[in-house]
Amino acid sequence: MSLQGQTAIITGAGSGIGRGTALRAAREGMHVVAVDVRNAEETVKEIVVAGGAATPVSLDVREPEGWRLLVEQTLEAHGSIAFLANVAGVVSLGADTAVEQTDEGWDRVIAINQTGTFYGMRAVMPAMIQSGGGAIVNVASVAGLVGMPNVFSYSASKGAVIAMSRQAATEFAKSGVRVNVICPGIIETPILGDITEELRTHCEAATPMGRLGAPDDIAAMAVQLARPESAFITGQVFPIDGGWTAQ
């Protein structure tokens, strides 16, 4: 396995897409540093029971000092960082339009989705550059590509993730650091909350493949982008949405 023995830092690893990415990276032989604001103990337990290697870390991605310590401790334990997946993200807790969004709601979404991704890249990239390269995958959303209702701040944050990723990809390509973006469609994760059956049916009908995505649909691409076979791919945006944005 080409990723055997390498180290991955994956945020949001306690559930959803982050958990799926952590599990898949571990199956590929990576040592996974499973990061979550609460805890990723269950994810780590599942990895270890399956014979993999993982370490849980509690981190709020809005805290730059926490990122600094995470990278420092990871380098002390493993020597290098080959892969960073910035998955942690939130949607607004209330109405999210250009008229109804509050200052507090805007600040929370931007701080976690956009600034948290920036902090992650800023903390990890110097170590990748020093070791000759690495792969970063930032998870955005189809909401950063097309208009959708009631996701104003979320869409802004995810559009920014796309722009930041492309800029970093071009600036650091010659340093061996590759930066790509995945834009999930509607994925079956806790971020959906307790959606109604009516809304679920609508979302399924609006997706050409006729179903919601699964976390592993996203994880498969994220880990593929970390592999040596993807060495000439950087600065790209990959919608994984069952055909949603092709309509």
pLDDT, one tens digit per residue, over 211-222 is 999 999 999 999
Give the residue-averaged pLDDT of 219-227. Answer: 98
Q: Is the dihedral of CA 179, 82, 230, 171 positive or negative?
A: positive
**Is residue 154 annotated as a catalytic residue, yes or no?**
yes
pLDDT of residue 149: 87
E strand or H helix that includes residue 17 = helix 16-27
12: burial class by Cβ within 10 Å (0-12, 13-18, 19+)?
buried
- State pTM to two decimals: 0.95
- In angstroms, the CA 155 to CA 177 distance is 26
**Active-site residue, from 119, 154, 172, 244:** 154
Question: Hey, what are 30's tokens?
Answer: 């990576």
pLDDT tens by residue, 20-54: 999 999 999 999 999 999 989 999 999 999 999 99
Q: How confident is the model at residue 196 (pLDDT cuts 50, 70, 90)?
A: low
230 or 194: which leads in pLDDT: 230
194 or 152: which leads in pLDDT: 152
pLDDT of residue 133: 97
**Into which CATH architecture does domain 7-239 fall?**
3-Layer(aba) Sandwich (3.40)
State phi, psi for 233 to the nearest 5 degrees.
-110, 115
- In angstroms, the CA 65 to CA 109 distance is 20
pLDDT of residue 189: 83
Predicted confidence (pLDDT) at residue 194 exceeds the cutoff of 60: no
In this prediction, what percent of the chain has a pLDDT beyond 90? 85
Predicted confidence (pLDDT) at residue 15 exceeds the cutoff of 70: yes
Q: Where are the domains of the chain?
A: 7-239
Question: Long-range pairs for 89-92 at CB < 8 Å and ≥24 separation?
Answer: 89/12, 89/113, 89/116, 89/139, 89/141, 89/157, 89/158, 89/191, 90/191, 91/151, 91/154, 91/191, 92/150, 92/151, 92/152, 92/153, 92/154
DSSP 181: E
